[in-house]
Amino acid sequence: MQTERMTREKLPKGECLCEYCPAKCCRYFALPIDKPTTTKDYDYVRWFMLHEAASIFVEDGTWYLLVHTACKHLQPDNRCGIYLTRPEICREYSTDNCEYDEDSTYHQYFETAEQVVEYIEATIGQDDFACARSAEPPMLPILV
């Protein structure tokens, strides 16, 4: 039997929203990066994307490197294994504006290096970044 998902509005007085959360905030980190403006800048963005578990998103004009990786101290029950000694950034985090009930979508979100190249070709121009595409594989021989 499926139980109804807890919402902020239905949260019983005195309970913490974290009791019902899948710990979204502990499963990634995002760092602001300089907005790419040159071909070389975009090549760095493309380099980020060549690494596993990385993506790029743009929110309110700010570019972010998003690394999809769970905290080493996240327990199977989604609780913090070092709660009493957790870092300051975790202490400052509040459920008042956390993403518990958000399904974020971004106007610009890149998951692959190829998407970055396509974006570059559409915005800067194909000639400026033609070297970023992989060479086409050779044609397979025709067997008779």
Q: What is the tens place of the pLDDT at every residue in 86-107?
A: 999 999 887 777 777 766 678 8
Residues 88 and 98: their CA atoms lie apart, in Å, by 16
| pLDDT above 70 for 3 | no
* Structure tokens belonging to residue 95: 């459920």
Angle at CA 70, nearest 5°, toward 34 and 75?
A: 150
pTM of the model: 0.73
Confidence of residue 111 (pLDDT cuts 50, 70, 90): very high
* Of the listed ranges 44-58, 92-106, 130-144, the one predicted with least confidence: 130-144
User: What does the alpha-carbon distance between residue 7 and residue 13 come to, in Å, rounded to a whole number?
Assistant: 12
**How many Cβ atoms are within 10 Å of 120's Cβ, its own excluded?**
22
Going by the DSSP 8-state scheme, the letter that residue 74 receives in this structure is B
Which sequence spans correspond to the domains of the chain? 17-127
